[in-house]
Amino acid sequence: MKNRIDQWITVVAFCAFIGIMSLLYLVLPKQENSELEKRPLEKAPEFSMEALTSGELGSDIETYMSDHIPGRSFFVGLNSYVDLYTGRQVTKDVYLAEGDRLVEAPAKWNQEQVDKNMKMVNRFAETLGKEVDFMIVPSGGWASQDLIQGVSYDYKDETYIGWLYSKAAEGVNCVNVMDVYEGREDLYYRTDHHWTSEGAYKGYAAYMDAKGRAYPAVEDFKVTVAKDFTGSTYTRAGLWMIPGENVEMWECTPNLQVTNENGQPHDGVFYLENLQELDKYTVFLDGNHATVTIHNPNNVGKGNLLVIRDSYSNCLGGFLAESYENVVMVDLRNIMPGMVVSELDAQYDFADVLVCYSLSNFLTDNNLIKLK
Amino acid sequence: MLFSSNVFLFAFLPSILLIYYICPRALRNPVLLLWSLVFYGWGEPVYLFLMIGTILLNYVFGLQIHKCQARQKSAKLPLVLGVIANLLILGFFKYAGFFVDQLKAILPFMSGVETPEISLPIGISFYVFQSMSYVIDVYRNDAPVQKNPLTFGTYVTLFPQLIAGPIVRYSDVALQMDHRKENISQFASGVQLFIVGLGKKMLLANPMGSLWDMLRAYEGSPAAWVGILAYTMQIYFDFSGYSDMARGLGRMFGFEFLENFNYPYIASTITDFWRRWHISLSTWFKEYVYIPLGGNRRGLPRQIVNLLVVWALTGFWHGASWNFLLWGLYYAVLLIMEKMFLLKLLKKLPKVIGHVYSIFAFMMGWALFFFEDMSQLGNFFGQLFSFSGSATPALQLILGFLPMILIGIVAATPLLKTLTAKWENAPVVRYGKLALCAVVLMLCVASLVSSSYNPFIYFRF
């Protein structure tokens, strides 16, 4: 039978594809870390008799190759779009919503963990002997739930937050902010799981209203903008065609003083040098730190605030500092072992104490046990 | 090594193709043998010794049988010894643990004995069966003896079919071992078949498998029915995908293996199903067990016994566990019923009834096949026939996978093939196939790469 052109094309194309890919493996320089994935990539496996006979060498080489495959992010993106358009986003941890919005899938409820965490909050109020305010911020997915494309699991933020608030003991005041965020997907980033600066401002305003404290109006803030931010949901979804977005920095009092556990004081709550990094959210208070103190020299005598918090407060902190002399923020995930948070009260004699978490973090975080 | 891995696609395959085709013909079998041993030893190098031992053993028995026959003497002894040796290897590595466990359960004095923990050497069920077919084929004069141990080794280890079949009988490839002519159109069809197989495995079997895994967490009939449907598709696309890849790779090196799956899920009877499912295994049992036992030539009662024996063995071949035996006997009962009256009855009824009956029968079969634990199996059948609802997340999961389920159902039928058969040689079909293969290959690589994509983002929360 005469050989046809399509057969030649098939053979040549296939051999060229696997051949060129394997050549690229050999000649392309290898990266040590993946900036996108924020993890070290597998190092070239070392040959040893033991690794060979145990079969470990084989699996190491496979991991190494998949970490360094040429065109890795292209293939990851391709796969994400295939999964999306064949309806399988329901199984992913990030959903696509209208308006190029990427939101986290609903938080998972683990009764045991949740019971524990609530107990810790209640215990903290008791230890401290002061009233503790408790504010859980609903998820961006819940706020955008009507916009999600295709099949998704249901968001139960109302039920979950309602349940948490119903377990608050005496001395724990719950700050309900559901109304602030319901249907307001614009208060969250499109490509990140955090609230935007406006979202954080609304949370701040709601808290100040609850406390009966004064706070600046929206017009009092000067807003600067950084472009091309792509955050955590973008990285996780792998839908690379989603455009980046703006990060807004809201500033009212320019001379805030920030100190974190590293000691070095910083002028202002914005770490502008971090805008050069892939993760621009770290512009707020330099990302996660164990303890951060924001001092407002214009507010002497207005009392101090303690915040037990997650990364939502990176952005919230700057706002809170507008209404207190000192805002002390503690991230339980990063504190030194053995640190007793309630002992801070002797130094600062806090006027208010706030436990502020995003819902999904509060449901899953297993560090609240350190809250003493 | 797995076909669906980076190492295979971008290191092993390009290098073996290159070396194979620049080597002179005389060196091609030894090169294949060497590479196949690397392929086999990749995950568990220890078992290379077992592999080489099996090759030598069968090579020697083949020669012995040949020698006896050349001297006009009975070759029964080397044949029986050869078969026993193979069965001992398989028995020890695959079934020893199981039998010790069973003995411990019935004999009190055995209770102190430790169950041997032998990890199953990959592909042992396949290559031991292949080796046995060689010894028997030589004995029966169905195939010539292979005097070159390297060529014989190449036959046993041939990497395309080494770890998941098809079980290539020696008589089918004896000629190809020494006299095959690679050519472009065979290579091209091999590439296409390989990509089709890879696509079945990565793009259909894997998603169906994860759906089945996720649905098992839910109770109620919808979750159970869609779950077993997903498993039914997973096992077909996985296994037939692997066979396609094996046949495709074989063609790239000039081999032609027999078809192993022929759209089994369109069968209208279970007899028909087993002519289409894992054909190389059913042929093996038919040739080397059923027919030697007398097949259907010794009256109905004897035939029934033969069927029970063959199907018990077929079931047991799939794994050392009671559920596989049960699964085999389940098919024996169905096949016996079909032989006795069901086939005649089904012929009189509309064809759709035969299909519904067959689909139902093999789906229930897969449930037996999946659950090794009898109480889990019982519970699962309870869910199937409780006609109770499933929780909302299960329904959302099913809804989300609906497009994939529909694609899977279409892909399990010859619909596309039938539609294009008329214009098989038209450029639009030929180039359409080519384009489809290119897309499928890209999607497979994408799926392969994505499984290792895990952004570390915890620190950001």
Tens-digit pLDDT profile for residues A151-166: 999 999 999 999 999 9
| Chain B residues within 8 A of A8 when measuring between CB atoms | 184, 188
| Distance between B320 CA and the closest CA of chain A, angstroms | 25
Please give the Cα distance from B53 to B38 (Å, whole number): 16
Q: Residue B460: which pLDDT band, with cuts at 50, 70 and 90?
A: very low
**Lowest-confidence range among A60-64, B427-431, B457-461?**
B457-461
Can you tell me whether residue A288 is helix, strand or coil? coil
Question: Quick one: which of A352, A316, A304, A283 has its CA closest to A177?
Answer: A316
CA-to-CA dists, residue B208 to B213, B215, B413, B453, angstroms? 9, 10, 16, 20
Closest Cα to residue B154, out of B8, B278, B43, B254? B254
Torsion from C-alpha of A317, A318, A322, A323, nearest 10 degrees: 0
Contact residues for B200 (Cβ-Cβ < 8 A; gap 6+)? B237, B238, B240, B241, B244, B411
A279 touches chain B (CB under 8 A): yes
Q: Which of A 300-319 lie inside 8 A of B, CB atoms? A: 310-311
Mean pLDDT throughout A68-95? 90
Report CB contact under 8 Å: A53, B399. no
> Strand, helix or coil at A2?
coil
Contact B396, A153 (CB under 8 A): yes
pLDDT digits (tens, 9 = 90+) for A17-36: 999 999 998 888 877 777 77
Mean pLDDT of chain A: 90
Closest CA to B316 of B287, B276, B289: B289
Considering only CB atoms, which chain B residues are within 8 Å of A80?
Answer: 450
Write the ipTM: 0.85
Question: Which residues of B have a catalytic role annotated?
Answer: 318
Partner residue facing B7 (CB), from A21, A61, A361: A61
Query: B461: pLDDT confidence band, cut at 50, 70 and 90?
Result: very low
Contact list, A367 vs chain B (CB under 8 Å): none
Chain B residues in contact with A288 by the CB 8 A cut-off are 459-460
Where are chain A's structural domains? 5-70, 101-370
A310 CB neighbours in chain B (<8 A) are: 461
Q: Which residue has the higher pLDDT, A14 or B391?
A: A14
Round to whole Å and give the CA distance between A258 and A296.
9
> Inter-chain contact A13–B438, Cβ cutoff 8 Å?
yes
| B34 to B20, B52, B157, B161, B290: CA distances (angstroms) | 11, 11, 9, 15, 36
Comparing A341-355, B70-84, B182-196, B208-222, the range with the smallest average pLDDT is: B70-84
Integer Cα distance of B378 and B224 in angstroms: 12
CA distance, residue B168 to nearest chain A CA (Å): 25
Does the beta carbon of A45 lie under 8 angstroms from any beta carbon of chain B? no
Confidence of residue A303 (pLDDT cuts 50, 70, 90): very high
Q: Which residues of B103-138 are buried (b: 16+ CB within 10 A; e: fewer)?
A: ebeeeeeeeeeeeeeeeebbbbbbbbbbbbbbbbbb
What is residue B457's predicted lDDT score, i.e. its pLDDT? 53
Which among B17, B401, B454 has CB closest to A88? B401
Between residues B301 and B197, which one has the greater pLDDT? Answer: B197
Q: Does A61 touch chain B (CB under 8 A)?
A: yes
Which amino acid does the sequence have at B404?
M
Give residue B454's pLDDT. Answer: 67
Interface contact A21-B9, CB threshold 8 A: yes
pLDDT band at A2 (very low <50, low <70, confident <90, very high): low
Q: Is the pLDDT of residue B459 over 80?
A: no
pLDDT of residue B456: 63
Least Cα separation, residue B116 to chain A (angstroms)? 20
Q: What Rg, from alpha-carbon coordinates, does chain B have? A: 24
* A46 has a chain B CB within 8 A of its CB: no
Q: What is the spatial distance between Cα A315 and Cα A317, in angstroms, rounded to a whole number?
A: 6
Q: How far is B155 from chain A (nearest CA, A)?
A: 24
pLDDT in the model for residue B360: 95
Q: Each residue of A165-198: pLDDT tens digit?
A: 999 999 999 999 999 999 999 999 999 999 999 9
User: Is the pLDDT score of A244 beyond 50?
Assistant: yes
- Helical (H) or strand (E) element with A356: strand A352-358
